[in-house]
Amino acid sequence: MTTVSLKINGHPFQASEGDMLLKVCRDNGFDIPTMCYNEAVEPDGRCRLCSVEVSEGRGRSRVVVSCNYPAREGLEVQTHSPRVMAVRKLVIELLAARCPTKPQVTGFAKRFGVAKPRYKPLDDVCILCGLCARVCDQVVGVHALSLVNRGSTKWASTPFFEASKDCIGCGTCNYVCPTDCIGMEDVGDKRVFKKWNTEFTMKKCKVCGNNIAPEYQLEYIRKKWNLPADHFDVCTTCRV
């Protein structure tokens, strides 16, 4: 792997060529905020909160999204320049207008001094980061979600806003959602996803009677790995 030399906020560092600037900066102790980034999936730079200013030594600089901008020889990176801070503040203003009550957003608003967004509040809770769809695709591998429509009608959804036949009820989308807006709840013997209009019956352990996981998810795993029919009849606690 080729090593490159670059500067971050005027200090010299080395990095593996192709490593994304967000990782390089964080690995070297520079704090860069993110909302739509998760190490488990490919970055797509949607929220733009991780913007940094880069210059390749020819006098001109530009603001780029650090989660998907690769480290290169001779790059000079500014993580907190006035241009960077202006972009981050604008992003936070837009997020704060979209979902003004979510602690993940209000925390950033406080930190970036956004007291009252200039934009009309939408009272929504989804920031359209697309993380749910990316983990469903890239980690779970069932492709049950996508960002649908454009502009103000854009929405994270199952196909046609109906219960997806592909969703296995694993809950991974819910665990990564930065605004906790998918509304997954285990109630009695059901797992409900309010945002996806989906409900699953939970499989119970034959010994203790506690819920293990959605029957559909366990059957999906059992078939995928060619496991015996009774493999998930007993929970991991009762198995030992």
- Site residues (vs ligand SF4, CB under 6 A): 126-132, 135-136, 140, 142, 144-145, 156, 167-173, 177-179, 181-182
Of the two residues 84 and 212, which places its CB atom closer to ligand SF4 in the complex?
212
d(CA 112, CA 94): 13
Instruction: Give the phi and the psi of residue 191 in degrees, each rounded to 5.
Output: -115, 125
- What is the smallest separation between the CB atom of 221 and ligand SF4, expressed in angstroms? 12
Using CB atoms within 10 Å of the CB of residue 182, give its burial: 0 to 12 exposed, 13 to 18 middle, 19+ buried: buried
Sheet-wide strand order for 61-65: 11-16, 3-8, 76-78, 51-55, 61-65
Query: 79 or 195: whose CB is closer to ligand SF4?
Result: 195
CA-CA distances (angstroms) from residue 33 to 6, 22, 99, 116, 187? 21, 9, 18, 20, 35
Task: Pick between residue 194 and residue 231 the one whose CB is nearest to ligand SF4.
Answer: 194
Contact call for residues 158 and 199 (beta carbons, < 8 A): no
In angstroms, give the least distance from the CB of 33 to ligand SF4: 16
Is the distance from CB of 124 to CB of 96 less than 8 angstroms?
Answer: no
User: CB 61 → ligand SF4: shortest distance, Å?
Assistant: 30
Measured from the CB atom, the residue of 77 and 182 that comes closer to ligand SF4 is 182
Instruction: For residues 50 and 31, give the distance between their C-alpha atoms in angstroms, rounded to a whole number.
Output: 10
Residue number with CB closer to ligand SF4 (51 or 179): 179
Host H or E run for residue 185: strand 184-187
Q: How far is the CB of 73 from ligand SF4 (least distance, A)?
A: 35
Smallest gap from Cβ 44 to ligand SF4, in A, equals 11
